[in-house]
Structure 1
Amino acid sequence: MEFAQPLVAMAQEQYAAIDAVVAPAIFSATDSIGWGLKPISSATKDLPLVESPTPLILSLLAYFAIVGSGLVYRKVFPRTVKGQDPFLLKALMLAHNVFLIGLSLYMCLKLVYEAYVNKYSFWGNAYNPAQTEMAKVIWIFYVSKIYEFMDTFIMLLKGNVNQVSFLHVYHHGSISGIWWMITYAAPGGDAYFSAALNSWVHVCMYTYYFMAAVLPKDEKTKRKYLWWGRYLTQMQMFQFFMNLLQAVYLLYSSSPYPKFIAQLLVVYMVTLLMLFGNFYYMKHHASK
């Protein structure tokens, strides 16, 4: 393995050079709009992918590059046979959905438990760096948002180009950045609410995806077992609405949770409600 050592050293040097440019630029940008992130939370400073934004930025660049090249490839070489996925692809889909059902359920229950143990109120909870267990779950939640890029990759492998919409890529790309900021600055307090709520929605969502993958594709089966798809979208929108209410409450109350996170969430939740609302209307009403 000695031959690999120079390559590893070179990669480390290149990463350090990139990080020396990217990290100061990100922190300078957030400072300039009043979203000062520093100092880093003592509860997460030693966890991977937190201290610097560079790993996330590189991951996002890779994600967008893969999505762009995948869309071009599928335009040139579309899947001509629909309905039956190759065995390995179907196995990957099922394993991916089962993993995220289990992980999301764990995060939801653990977040609620930690909120109960630390005597949280519904909203208006301060971030306390001594609550390290809560911070660890928030970190897992943040990292899971990077793993969820796999959703898009599976869609591209299946040839479902229409599903890789602006809404889909925007949501997957932006949510990881928001949760990096929360994990960096305040991984606890009122962050528990949106993380727990989103985790529960994902339990339902990936259960739906799992059922859709294993059940027959005929319309009778869909009507019998997958009738609740439209209500899943409504649940997602209700989640965004509740997150928006929470953010407004944090802005205009004496809540000790960082105001810049509340400001960020107000803007973000408005965009998601608009995009998901348009998606819901186009799917369930525009064609009728």
Structure 2
Amino acid sequence: MVEVLPGNDTIRSTWQYLFVEAADPRTSGWLLMGNPIPVVSILFAYLYFVLKCGPNYMKDKQPYSLKRIMMVYNLLQVAANVYLFNEAIYMWSRFDWNCQPLDLTTSAFAMRQSWGCYLYFLNKISDLLDTVFFVLRKKNKQISFLHLFHHTMMPFVTWIMVKYFPGGHITFIGLANTFVHILLYGYYYLAALGPNIQKYLWWKKYITRLQLIQFCLVFIHNTQLLVFDCDFPKWTVLLTLPNAIFFYYLFNDFYKQSYDAPKKDDKQKEKIKSK
């Protein structure tokens, strides 16, 4: 006779509630959506490769070029984000911009929202390849805490969205984010074309500014859940608002280090030369 450990029933009932009863039944059967184990495993494998396995593998090797692969990847990302942005525009053209409830029906429009959220989640998984390319090209200096935190957090947060509330108010995040990513991956594609094109890409810093504006808009838009009865889960602000604040802080720090600090150094050098 197998002895049942104390607490096993509690664990089972908690698991059943969290990932079956409380979840959206429309999306729970989709790939990677049954429970968090698959997506968490992907993220652990990602971090293991980026922080340990990948650098060890590349230690005594020449960096891979990957130029053509990255150009194709960036073009596909642009196409994917254009599609997702178009879906978001379609949804929000029918939404109340102030306050949008969650539609849990199986109507064609509700399912289109759910499917759009799911594709957005899969797109965040594909974003992990950015870091893999950095490792294989031995661009480890570009793998900052900001980069790792952003790429690790987004797949998990979007998994939660698809699992419990795929549609409605929170999809404003996808609307803003996909627009920014169209420009971001478009920039990456153009930069990969070489120095003759890179000299015209003076607008890189404005993409970061746009990302900062994005976080402010997301914060303001989701704060409305605390003010209005939007018929949308209010607890989601515990997920969205801290992330918006922390992302703003990290991206703002990146902007200062990348663009403001070099300007100060140049001014100091000019002062020294003029003396």
Report the TM-score, using the length of structure 1 for normalisation: 0.80
Cα distance in 1 for residues equivalent to 2:157 and 2:48:
20
**2:150 paired residue number:** 171
Deviation per CA, 1:236-282, whole angstroms, max 9, x where unpaired?
A: 11111111111212123222211111221111111101100100000
**2:70 paired residue number:** 93
Distance 1:252 1:56, change over 3 A: same
Give the Å deviation of 1:189: 0.3
Cα distance in 2 for residues equivalent to 1:222 and 1:70:
32
From 28, 41, 50, give the equivalent of 2:24. Answer: 41
Cα distance in 2 for residues equivalent to 1:145 and 1:212:
22
8 Å contact kept, 2:55–2:135: no
Cα distance in 2 for residues equivalent to 1:71 and 1:162:
14
From 169, 178, 185, give the equivalent of 1:190. Answer: 169
Cα distance in 1 for residues equivalent to 2:247 and 2:204:
18
Give the Å deviation of 1:67: 0.7
The range that moved more, 191-200 or 56-65, is: 191-200
Cα distance in 1 for residues equivalent to 2:22 and 2:128:
29
8 Å contact kept, 2:58–2:136: no
**1:159 paired residue number:** 138
Say which SS state the counterpart of residue 23 (structure 2) adopts.
coil
In the alignment, residue 69 of structure 1 is paired with which amino acid? K
Matched, 1:135 2:135: no
Matched, 1:202 2:165: no
Instruction: Give 5+ residue unaligned stretches, structure 2.
Output: 1-7, 265-275
In the alignment, residue 209 of structure 2 is paired with which amino acid? Q
Cα distance in 1 for residues equivalent to 2:120 and 2:33:
12
Cα distance in 2 for residues equivalent to 1:278 and 1:197:
21
Give the Å deviation of 1:134: 0.8
8 Å contact kept, 1:139–1:187: yes
**1:7 paired residue number:** none
Give the Å deviation of 1:71: 6.1
From 106, 109, 112, give the equivalent of 2:89. Answer: 112
Say which SS state the counterpart of residue 261 (structure 2) adopts.
coil
Matched, 1:251 2:230: no
Aligned length: 248
Distance 1:38 1:283, change over 3 A: farther
Sequence identity (%): 24
Say which SS state the counterpart of residue 195 (structure 2) adopts.
coil
Cα distance in 1 for residues equivalent to 2:111 and 2:91:
10
Instruction: Give 5+ residue unaligned stretches, structure 1.
Output: 1-20
Give the Å deviation of 1:159: 1.3
Give the Å deviation of 1:69: 1.8
Larger of the two Rg values belongs to structure: 2
In the alignment, residue 144 of structure 2 is paired with which amino acid? S
**1:64 paired residue number:** 47
**1:16 paired residue number:** none
From 145, 148, 165, give the equivalent of 2:124. Answer: 145
Distance 1:206 1:283, change over 3 A: same
Report the TM-score, using the length of structure 2 for normalisation: 0.83
User: Deviation above 4 Å: which 4+ runs of structure 1?
Assistant: none
Matched, 1:222 2:207: no
Cα distance in 1 for residues equivalent to 2:96 and 2:260:
39
Give the Å deviation of 1:78: 7.2
Matched, 1:102 2:79: yes
State the superposition RMSD in angstroms: 2.4
Cα distance in 2 for residues equivalent to 1:273 and 1:75:
33
8 Å contact kept, 2:58–2:138: no
Cα distance in 2 for residues equivalent to 1:152 and 1:145:
12
Give the Å deviation of 1:143: 1.2
Cα distance in 2 for residues equivalent to 1:250 and 1:94:
40
